[in-house]
Amino acid sequence: MMTDSTMPAQAPAAAPSETQAQLFPFVLQLADTSLILAHRLSEWCGHGPILEQDLAMANIALDFLGEARSYYQYAAELEGKGRTEDDLAYLRSAVEYRNPLLVEQPNGDFAVTIVRQFIYDCFHYHLLLQLKSGPDAQLAAIAEKSVKEAAYHIKWSSEWVIRLGDGTEESRRRVEKAIGNLWRYSGELTTPSATEQALQAAGLVPDYAAIQQQMAAHIARVFEEATLAVPEGVFMQKGGKDGRHTEHLGYLLAELQYMQRTYPGLEW
């Protein structure tokens, strides 16, 4: 990221309307979510189980980072207080971050990373399809771009869930354990926060009920092929979208923000 004088903000310079300005917290939430997941995936760089999958995770991380930048640039413009994409990404504390809890969970082993990615991809892909035809032109433009990439991601993570579930005894044990540990964070994705509820009522944010159904259908199909059971009756954790995070986010941000916190305004 960092200050970049050659590339202007992506959106037109016209001041956002009042309706658009309400979208700020939602766009920021999307930005935070993509950035945190990009960071987690990038932690694998150089540590992947095999070279091809190391590259796959780095590529997916880059897609999320690019998407995050588009959202941060738009959020900065919507806020209109002179903060830049870098200020929003590097100079906010953990309680100000609005990403759901799922994406900040540590990488664990490859199975944990795959299950985390699979759950998020199922939500992300269907969300982008909705945003692409939504009322806000800039969000629609970002989604139109990103949904093509998200299609590669969901294919990749779905195939890996199947390989691991229907693979060896060891891969199955690990993927089942990952599902057991991460499922509690899946519900937050489609449970609207108070902010999202208000925007949904105004028709600015898609209804999550439809997305939840599409997610469930895809998960059921993939788990069936993977010979895995979809967990039932799990108590769902939430809070990330309101700034109440697990302890992992602080450590992640300490690394992500280190340079800007130590040398404010540093450029390269």
Using the rule CB under 8 A, give the single segment among 83-91, 152-160, 169-177, 246-254 that binds other proteins.
152-160
Q: What is the rounded distance in angstroms from the CA atom of residue 123 to the CA atom of residue 209?
A: 11
Among 22, 25, 43, 53, binds other proteins (CB under 8 A): 53
Among 63, 77, 104, 136, binds other proteins (CB under 8 A): 63
Q: What is the rounded distance in angstroms from the CA atom of residue 50 to the CA atom of residue 213?
A: 34
Among 90, 156, 183, 208, binds other proteins (CB under 8 A): 156
Q: CB of 83: closest distance to other proteins in angstroms? A: 20
Q: State yes or no: residue 65 binds other proteins (CB under 8 A).
A: yes
Using the rule CB under 8 A, give the single segment among 56-64, 77-85, 184-192, 228-236 that binds other proteins.
56-64
Q: Is residue 73 packed enough to be buried (19+ CB in 10 Å), middle (13-18) or exposed (0-12)?
A: buried
HEC profile of the chain: CCCCCCCCCCCCCCCCCHHHHCCHHHHHHHHHHHHHHHHHHHCCCCCCCCHHHHHHHHHHHHHHHHHHHHHHHHHHHHHCCCCCHHHHHHCCCHHHCCCCHHHHCCCCCHHHHHHHHHHHHHHHHHHHHHHHCCCCHHHHHHHHHHHHHHHHHHHHHHHHHHHHHCCCHHHHHHHHHHHHHHHHHCHHHHCCCHHHHHHHHCCCCCCHHHHHHHHHHHHHHHHHHCCCCCCCCCCCCCCHHHCCCCCHHHHHHHHHCHHHHHCCCCCC
Using the rule CB under 8 A, give the single segment among 22-30, 141-149, 234-242, 259-267 that binds other proteins.
141-149
Q: State yes or no: residue 44 binds other proteins (CB under 8 A).
A: no
Q: State yes or no: residue 55 binds other proteins (CB under 8 A).
A: yes
Q: State yes or no: residue 188 binds other proteins (CB under 8 A).
A: no
**Residues between 69 and 98 that touch other proteins (CB under 8 A):** 69-70
Among 90, 125, 183, 208, binds other proteins (CB under 8 A): 125
Q: State yes or no: residue 145 binds other proteins (CB under 8 A).
A: yes
Among 28, 35, 154, 204, binds other proteins (CB under 8 A): 154
Among 29, 105, 113, 158, binds other proteins (CB under 8 A): 158
138-155 burial string, b = 16+ CB within 10 Å, else e? bbbbbbebbbebbeebbe
Q: State yes or no: residue 222 binds other proteins (CB under 8 A).
A: yes
Among 36, 37, 60, 78, binds other proteins (CB under 8 A): 60
Q: State yes or no: residue 142 binds other proteins (CB under 8 A).
A: yes
Q: CB of 55: closest distance to other proteins in angstroms? A: 5
Among 22, 25, 43, 66, binds other proteins (CB under 8 A): 66
**Contacts to other proteins by CB under 8 A:** 4, 6-8, 10, 52-53, 55-56, 58-60, 62-67, 69-70, 125, 137, 140-142, 144-146, 148-149, 151-152, 154-156, 158-159, 162, 218, 221-222, 225
